[in-house]
Amino acid sequence: MSERTRNIIVGLTVILGLSGVGMLMLLFGFIPHILTPGYNVRVQISQATGLNTSSRVKLDGVDIGQISRIELQKHPARGVMLTLVIDRNIQLSQQASCTVESPLLGGGAVIAFSTLGLSDEQMADWASTDGSAMYAGKRSSPIAGVAQNLQSTMEQAVAGFRQDLKRPIDSFVKLEEDFHQLQKAWEQVGHNIAALTEPRQSADVDAGKAPGNLATIMQRADARLGEIQKTIQQINDLVGDEQLRGDIKQSAANVSKLSGKFVEVADNLSVTIESLRKTSDQAREGQGSLGKLIKDPALYDNLNDAVLRIGQAADEIKLLIEKWKAEGVSVKF
């Protein structure tokens, strides 16, 4: 191999190596200052741990530049002053927050600007591009960032969970209102039952001092039961009186005998009336000696009046017998 060929191969190898290093630098976020024209912004922080001159600058997650210088502040000031190079096409709000964020695993720290929560007026407060713009930065630990992300996720989950529970909660509130109404109704029922069973005197109810209730009804029922028991006892005493039962039996026997005699008299009167009716018929036809006497009006009238009186007496006797039967007096014929 000639020396010229060897030099060409070495040159190509160097060029390829430098190209590879450049690609790696670009992949890891290193961009030479000469390739990043823009305006300067300064940030004051307590310490620069994890930061270097190749650390990137981001606005709401978008890369907008990098750190160009890191230097300690002069006494008596404390902390570190960072100089950032921001892309000329990007405008920063002076009200944006500045935070040093360090990833939990791998990678370097970055300067992160955020406009979250800014109003339109605050967004329009643009930072100066002549290098005089100053921000007060603060550090954010990886755990704090994870916690913040977790909190945000949890808040979103809780908001969704609350939205999902809104309808059941509304239903539960309606159920609670219905339960309160039912409770009031049952309280009123309890008051009514208490008023219904409250001890009261029937005398006060009769006097109009208080309305009647179950207590007064029970008192009146007890009084009526006492009266009924007393009446039953009197009937039992009356029925158990041997002398009274004997008198009743004797009276019934006497009435039976008397009714028999009245029946016998009624039968005799009936026979007599029948005979008189036959005699009267014969007299009207002019038969027998009575018929001859009919010509005498006075005699006829007397006989007719006697017959009428006898008939009335027989009717009264029958009515008397029917009355006895209706009153429970045993009448045997």
Cα→Cα distances 127→66, 116, 130, 131, 258, Å: 17, 17, 9, 9, 145
Given this model, what pLDDT does residue 29 score? Answer: 52
Cα→Cα distances 104→141, 156, 185, 228, 290, Å: 8, 23, 63, 100, 161
Given this model, what pLDDT does residue 219 score? Answer: 79
Contacts 24+ apart (CB under 8 A), 310-318: 310/269, 310/272, 310/273, 310/276, 311/273, 313/269, 314/266, 314/269, 314/270, 314/273, 317/262, 317/265, 317/266, 317/269, 318/266
Given this model, what pLDDT does residue 158 score? Answer: 79
- The residues, ordered by sequence, that sit 6+ positions from 48 with a Cβ below 8 Å of its Cβ are 70, 80, 82
Given this model, what pLDDT does residue 297 score? Answer: 61
Q: What are phi and psi of 133, to 5 degrees?
A: -65, 135
Cβ(67)–Cβ(111) under 8 Å?
yes
Give the three-class secondary structure for 115: coil
Given this model, what pLDDT does residue 309 score? Answer: 75
List the pLDDT tens digit at each of the 333 positions of the chain: 677 787 788 788 888 888 887 777 666 555 554 555 789 999 999 988 889 988 999 999 999 999 999 999 988 888 999 999 999 999 999 999 999 988 766 678 899 999 998 999 999 999 999 999 999 999 876 665 566 667 777 887 877 777 777 777 777 777 778 878 888 888 888 877 777 777 878 777 777 777 877 777 887 788 888 888 888 887 777 666 677 667 667 776 776 676 666 667 667 767 777 776 776 666 666 666 555 555 556 655 666 676 677 777 777 777 777 776 776 655 555
Given this model, what pLDDT does residue 307 score? Answer: 65
Q: Identify the H or E element spanning 81.
A: strand 80-87
Distance CA 332, CA 253 (A): 10
- Give the up-direction half-sphere exposure of residue 90: CA atoms within 13 A in the CB hemisphere: 23
Given this model, what pLDDT does residue 82 score? Answer: 95
Give the three-class secondary structure for 139: strand
Given this model, what pLDDT does residue 71 score? Answer: 94
Cβ(111)–Cβ(98) under 8 Å?
yes
- The residues, ordered by sequence, that sit 6+ positions from 293 with a Cβ below 8 Å of its Cβ are 283, 299, 300
Given this model, what pLDDT does residue 221 score? Answer: 81
Distance CA 115, CA 118 (A): 6
Provide the whole-model pTM.
Answer: 0.38
- The residues, ordered by sequence, that sit 6+ positions from 236 with a Cβ below 8 Å of its Cβ are none
Cβ(71)–Cβ(37) under 8 Å?
no
Neighbours of 56 (CB within 10 A): 20
The β-bridge partners of 56 are: 66
Q: Is 289 left (phi over 0), alpha (psi -120 to 50) or beta?
A: alpha
Distance CA 296, CA 163 (A): 131
